[in-house]
Amino acid sequence: MDNHSDSDVSSQRRVHSSSVSSLDTQSTEIDDSCEDLQDSDREYILVVGGLGYIGSHTCLELLKSGYNIVIIDNLSNSFRSVYTRLENLGRNYFDTRCEPMPQIHLYVSDYRDEAAMKQILGEYVRPHTSPQLLEGEARLESRIRGVIHFGAYKSVSESIQQPLKYYANNVAGLVEFCSILNSFQIKTFVFSSSATVYGSIANSGMPLREEHCTHQEEAFSDHEGVTKTVLGGCTGLTNPYGRTKWMCEAILSDLALADPEWTVLALRYFNPVGCDESGLLGEDPRGVPTNLMPVVLRVLTGISPVLDVFGTDYPTADGTAVRDFIHVTDLARGHIAALAAAFDGRVPKGFRTYNLGSGKGHSVLDVVNAVESASSSKIPLRILGRREGDVGSCVAMPKRAETELDWKTEKSLETCCRDVCNFLDKFKRPAMPVV
């Protein structure tokens, strides 16, 4: 997203700002007309990192599904202008249906700031007197019904160069955050995980199933119907980022095992691409991107002269790495499906992992060809050696999500590329020569 100047605070949001290094939460922008916070019956979904690429698309789908949302984002890899676009897209969606838009609140804060988190969550507590308690004794309940956590750093290459940064934010941050959630009795948690937890087993060429990486002993039926039992563990994690995701899953699994009131769904993403069909939301991080699609876009817009292809000697059809690319809107809807399954009791309490992928693999060159076709532009390539931390193939077996969450992908790679070009047409006119 482009870094436009911040817009005024609307009557439907409250904006706070805090620093992870600050003990005090200082509100820089507060709209005194936020009377909706006093509505003790209104419930919310808390989205950490809700202005990032996947987070913003998930927030949009949450709004469309009728959920009120609270966004916490420190803007380290996103822009506040995304919030304005979310509001506009949500308002347009509900205006055409003559329905009121759900509430959306933004707090600019770091989720590792304990004081800030307690202050924010405190605004969504409602007093409730339970008949099981002594007369006059109050029990606090939160209006935050569930949490979706996107607050991790996610670059494989950066994690290799700066592992402590990743362990501090992704792992230590999660531990403290869950402790705070626990104190507020918020125990429905959707975790943004990754297919990187499968490590080197991805190179086997077989579709990856959740049982290839578990945290407790687990029984399952294989493709031949034979019942097998696997022990907790992982195989050949290839980078610190993947290790942080595995560690976080293990911590959440242990937490849910120790406290049966927790429901934790860890969604293992494969490779999200594309953007909302409106062209108003897309992938545009503050830093230099390392994921394939935003790098391709930098070449299309003339920011980068060539696309570096890391490795052409993998045991794949064309020698380039194969990934399971999933449209970000499909991925976002996977989070809504996970929440709905948890709220409806269709998944048991405790910890459960789900692959969110299409089950189909496409190579780097497949993606390049699809983008060239959608944009009518030629993308110059530079062939390099394999990149440290990469695997040759990573494709999901998404059957568990289809069966238990009633979710599956709907959009094709061609649709992903078309929607990306729509985003470019609106914000970054391509500078590449037309084929």
Q: Which neighbouring-strand residues pair with 323?
A: 362, 394
Strand residue runs (E) in 18-122: 26-29, 44-48, 68-73, 104-108
User: Which member of 166, 198, 241, 354 is catalytic?
Assistant: 241
Phi first, then psi, for residue 30 (nearest 5°) are -130, 125
CA distances (Å), origin 88, targets 280, 288, 379: 10, 28, 33
User: What does DSSP say about strands 322-323 and 362-363: parallel, antiparallel, or unpaired?
Assistant: antiparallel
CA distance 193 to 245: 6
The answer to whether residues 105 and 13 touch, using CB atoms and an 8 Å cutoff, is yes
The 3-state DSSP class for residue 247 equals helix
The 3-state DSSP class for residue 274 equals coil
CA distances (Å), origin 410, targets 265, 331, 333, 366: 21, 10, 10, 19
Q: Is 241 in the active site? A: yes
Instruction: Report CA Rg, the chain.
Output: 22
CA distance 27 to 108: 9
CA distance 409 to 98: 29
The answer to whether residues 28 and 75 touch, using CB atoms and an 8 Å cutoff, is no
Please name the residues in contact with 93: beta carbons below 8 A apart, sequence gap of 6 or more: 63, 64, 101
User: What does DSSP say about strands 271-273 and 325-327: parallel, antiparallel, or unpaired?
Assistant: parallel
Around 111, how many Cα atoms within 13 Å sit in the side-chain half-sphere? 33
* Catalytically annotated residues: 241
